[in-house]
Amino acid sequence: MPLRYVAVCGASEATPSQLESAREVGKLLARSGAVVINGGFGGVMGAASEGAASEGGTVVGILPDTDRRGANPHLTVSLPTGMGQARNALIVTAAESVIAIGSGWGTLSEIALARKLGRSVVALDSWDVGGLDVVDSPAEAVRRALGA
């Protein structure tokens, strides 16, 4: 089965329910064999990384700085870029689909870049923007992101 690459984007300042959703999304993606891609730090990124790692999944963190300091400990691969927030373009370009959780400004930029690239974006407790596939559960988010 070919690998699927799914970006999980979301706020670093997330609510407890968003963190729990991200953790579950990470677990479900790992169980399906998908590679999880994110920004490599905390909040939604850290929770999704933790969930995927707990299931033995592969997690790639695309970091904004020139070093790995501050990266979450659940990453399989951490890639410093030195690009700051512009690294959001790398995150969504590397993914085949995106799951957005939460409503941070960085998340909105990732949503916009992903849609501009023609990537599907599944929104779970996220921005209310046209063109998104809005869902109510982590399981449905993963199912849609994987095209099932």
Report the pLDDT value the prediction gives residue 3, as an integer from 0 to 100.
Answer: 86
**CA–CA gap between residue 129 and residue 126 (Å, rounded):** 9
Could you please state the CATH topology (level 3) that the domain comprising 5-80+94-145 is classified under: Rossmann fold (3.40.50)
The string of pLDDT tens digits covering residues 68-127 is 999 999 999 999 999 999 999 999 999 999 999 999 999 999 999 999 999 999 999 999
Q: What is the helix (H) or strand (E) element at residue 148, kind and residue range?
A: none
Helix and strand totals (H; E) in the chain: 5, 7
Residue 83, classed as helix, strand or coil, is: coil
User: Which pTM value belongs to this model?
Assistant: 0.96
Report the pLDDT value the prediction gives residue 2, as an integer from 0 to 100.
Answer: 62
The string of pLDDT tens digits covering residues 6-35 is 999 998 999 999 999 999 999 999 999 999
The string of pLDDT tens digits covering residues 42-67 is 999 999 999 999 999 999 999 999 99
CA 67 from chain centre, in angstroms, equals 20
**CA–CA gap between residue 5 and residue 134 (Å, rounded):** 20
Name the β-bridge partners of 59. 36
Phi and psi angles of residue 123, each rounded to the nearest 5 degrees, phi first: -105, 125
